[in-house]
Structure 1
Amino acid sequence: MPGPAAEDLEDLYENAPCGYLSLGPDGRIVKSNKTLSRWLGVAAEELRGQRLRDLLSIAGQIFYETHFAPLLRMQGFFDEVALDLITADGAPLHVLANAAERRDADGGLLFTRVTVFRATERRRYERELVDATETAQAESRMSKGQLLAEHEAAELREQFIAVLGHDLRNPLAAIDGGTNLLMREPQSEKSQRVIGLIRGSVLRMSGLIDNVMDFARGRLGGGIQLSRSSRPLALTLEQVVGELRTSYPEREIELNLDATAEVEADHARLAQLFSNLLANAITHGAVDRPVRVDATMGATGLELSVANAGPPIPPAAIEQLFQPFYRSNPQSRVQGLGLGLYIAAQIAEAHGGRIDVTSDATETRFTFHLPQVEKRA
Structure 2
Amino acid sequence: MNSSDLSDGDLEDLYENAPCGYLSLGPDGRIVRVNATLCTWLGRSPDTLIGTRLRDLLNVAGRIFYETHFAPLLRIQGFFEEVALDLVKIDGGTLPVLANASERKVSDDLVFTRVTLFRAPQRRRHERELVELRNAEQETRRRLEELNAGLHTRINDAAELQVLSVRDAELREQFIAVLGHDLRNPLAGLAGGTNILKQIHSDAKSVRVLRLMAESINRMNGLIDNLMDLARGRLGSGITIQRTSGVRLEPTLAQVVNELRAGHPDRSIEMRLNLSQPVDVDHARIAQMFSNLLGNAITHGAEDRPVVVDAGIENGQFQLSIANGGEPIPQGALNRLFQPFYRGEVRSNMQGLGLGLYIASQIALAHGGRISVTSDTTETKFTFSMPII
Alignment of 1:101 with 2:99, yes or no, is yes
Q: 2: distance between equivalents of 1:174 and 1:99?
A: 19
* 1:269 alignment partner, one of 256, 275, 285: 285
2:172/2:235 contact within 8 Å kept:
no
Q: 1: distance between equivalents of 2:87 and 2:174?
A: 29
Give SS of 1:229's match.
coil
Q: 1:349 to 1:174 in 2, by over 3 A?
A: same
* 1:254 alignment partner, one of 270, 276, 294: 270
Give SS of 1:368's match.
strand
Residue in structure 1 matched with residue 64 of structure 2 by the alignment: 20
Q: 1:110 to 1:256 in 2, by over 3 A?
A: farther
Q: 2: distance between equivalents of 1:23 and 1:272?
A: 39
Give matches, 1:1-377, under 5 Å. 20-22=64-66, 29=70, 31=72, 72=84, 77-78=85-86, 101=99, 103=101, 110=115, 160=175, 163-173=178-188, 187=202, 190=205, 193-194=208-209, 196-230=211-245, 231-258=247-274, 261-331=277-347, 333-373=349-389
Which fold has the larger relative contact order, with Cα–Cα distance below 8 Å and residues 6 or more apart in sequence? 1
Q: 1:220 to 1:104 in 2, by over 3 A?
A: closer
Give SS of 2:320's match.
strand
Give SS of 2:64's match.
strand
Gaps of 5+ in 1: 1-8, 33-44, 53-68, 81-95, 113-143
CA RMSD of aligned residues (A): 4.9
Q: 2: distance between equivalents of 1:188 and 1:210?
A: 33
Q: CA deviation at 1:368?
A: 0.7
Q: CA deviation at 1:356?
A: 0.6
Gaps of 5+ in 2: 1-51, 89-93, 105-112, 118-146, 152-164
Instruction: Provide, for residues 26-45 of structure 1, a one-character-per-residue CA deviation record: whole Å limited to 9, x for no partner.
Output: xx84528xxxxxxxxxxxx9
Q: 1:239 to 1:196 in 2, by over 3 A?
A: farther
Q: 1: distance between equivalents of 2:184 and 2:263?
A: 20
Q: 1:176 to 1:233 in 2, by over 3 A?
A: farther
Give SS of 2:280's match.
strand
2:361/2:370 contact within 8 Å kept:
yes
Q: Could you tell me the TM-score, scaled by structure 2's length? A: 0.56
Q: 1:369 to 1:165 in 2, by over 3 A?
A: same
Instruction: Provide, for residues 5-40 of structure 1, a one-character-per-residue CA deviation record: whole Å limited to 9, x for no partner.
Output: xxxx9xx99xxx86635499xxx84528xxxxxxxx
Q: CA deviation at 1:321?
A: 0.5
Q: Could you tell me the TM-score, scaled by structure 1's length? A: 0.57
